[in-house]
A and B are shown apart, each in its own frame.
Chain A
Amino acid sequence: MELFFQYMVAGITYGAIYSIVAIGFNIIYNTTGIINFAQGEFVMLGGMIAVTLNNFMPLPSAILATVLITMIIGALIEMIFIRWLVNPSVLRMIIITIGISIIIREAALHIWDEKVRALPYFTGTEVTSILFFGAHISPQVLWVIGICSVVVVLLNLFFNFTMRGRQMRACASNRNSARLCGINAKNMVTLSFVLSAGIGALAGCVISPITYVHYDSGAPLAIKGFTVAIFGGLGNSMAAVVAGLILGILESFSI
Chain B
Amino acid sequence: MGNKKYIQTIGFAAAVVSIQIITYFSATGYFLTQLTMSGYYSIVVIGLCLLMGYAGQISIGHAGFFAMGGYITAVLTTFNFSPFVKNTLISLFSKTGILIARQDLYGGQILSFHPLFACAGAVIFTIVVAYIIGGPVLKLKGHYLAMATLGLGTIIYKIVIGTTILGEADGISDVPAFTLIPGLLEVSGKPSMRIQNYYFAWGLVIISMVFVLNLIDSRVGRALRSIHGAEDASNAMGVDTAKYKLHTFVLSAALAAMAGVFLTHFNGGIGPSEASIMKSVRYVAIVAVGGMANLWGALIMGALLNFFSMRGYFGTLDDAVFGGILILIMLFAPEGLLKTELFKVKRKNFQSAEKSGEV
Contact residues of A with B, CB < 8 Å? 34-35, 37, 81, 85, 89-92, 94-96, 98-103, 105-107, 110, 219, 223, 226, 230
Question: Do A81 and B327 form a contact, CB below 8 Å, given A91-B56, A102-B320?
Answer: yes
Question: Do A102 and B319 form a contact, CB below 8 Å, given A85-B331, A95-B330, A219-B277?
Answer: yes
The answer to whether A100 and B327 have CB atoms under 8 Å apart is: yes
**Closest chain A residue to B326 by CB distance?**
A99
Question: Do A90 and B320 form a contact, CB below 8 Å, given A85-B331, A95-B330, A102-B278?
Answer: no
Known: A91-B56, A98-B326. 20 other contacts (CB 8 A): A35-B147, A81-B331, A89-B334, A90-B142, A91-B142, A92-B334, A94-B58, A95-B326, A96-B326, A96-B327, A96-B330, A98-B60, A98-B284, A98-B323, A99-B323, A100-B327, A103-B323, A106-B323, A110-B317, A223-B150
The answer to whether A94 and B327 have CB atoms under 8 Å apart is: no
Instruction: Tell which of A94, A107, A219 has the most Cβ of chain B within 10 Å.
Output: A94
The answer to whether B330 and A99 have CB atoms under 8 Å apart is: yes
A103 to B331, CA, bound (A): 15
Q: Which of B98-129 contact A (CB under 8 A)?
A: none
Q: How far is the CB of A141 from chain B (nearest CB, A)?
A: 26
A79 to B321, CA, bound (A): 21
Q: How far is the CB of B21 from chain A (nearest CB, A)?
A: 37
A142 to B183, CA, bound (A): 69
Residue interface mask B137-154, A partner, CB < 8 A = 1: 000001110110011001
Indicate which residue in A91, A99, A226 contacts B58 across the interface (CB closer than 8 Å): A91
Chain A positions within 8 Å of B316 at CB level: 110
The answer to whether A223 and B146 have CB atoms under 8 Å apart is: no
The answer to whether A98 and B317 have CB atoms under 8 Å apart is: no
Chain B positions within 8 Å of A230 at CB level: 144, 147
Residue interface mask B59-76, A partner, CB < 8 A = 1: 010000000000000000
**Closest chain A residue to B292 by CB distance?**
A91
Chain A positions within 8 Å of B288 at CB level: 95
Q: Which of B248-294 contact A (CB under 8 A)?
A: 277-278, 281, 284-285, 288
Chain B positions within 8 Å of A85 at CB level: 331
Instruction: Tell which of B52, B281, B327 has the most Cβ of chain A within 10 Å.
Output: B327
The answer to whether A94 and B146 have CB atoms under 8 Å apart is: yes
Asked whether any CB of chain A lies closer than 8 Å to the CB of B198, the reply is no
A226 to B151, CA, bound (A): 11
Chain A positions within 8 Å of B322 at CB level: 102
The answer to whether A99 and B154 have CB atoms under 8 Å apart is: no
Question: Can you identify 28 A-B contacts, CB atoms within 8 angstroms?
Answer: A34-B143, A35-B143, A85-B331, A89-B334, A90-B142, A90-B143, A92-B330, A94-B142, A94-B143, A95-B288, A95-B326, A95-B330, A96-B330, A99-B285, A99-B323, A99-B326, A99-B327, A102-B319, A102-B322, A103-B323, A103-B327, A105-B319, A106-B317, A106-B323, A110-B317, A219-B277, A223-B150, A230-B147
Question: Do A106 and B320 form a contact, CB below 8 Å, given A219-B277, A223-B150?
Answer: yes
Asked whether any CB of chain A lies closer than 8 Å to the CB of B324, the reply is yes
The answer to whether B326 and A102 have CB atoms under 8 Å apart is: yes
A105 to B322, CA, bound (A): 12
Chain B positions within 8 Å of A37 at CB level: 146
Question: Which are the 7 A-B pairs with shortest beta-carbon distances?
Answer: A102-B323, A99-B326, A106-B320, A99-B327, A90-B142, A35-B143, A103-B323
Q: How far is the CB of A251 from chain B (nearest CB, A)?
A: 14
Indicate which residue in B58, B143, B331 contacts A96 across the interface (CB closer than 8 Å): B331
Instruction: Tell which of B277, B284, B323 has the most Cβ of chain A within 10 Å.
Output: B323
A123 to B330, CA, bound (A): 46
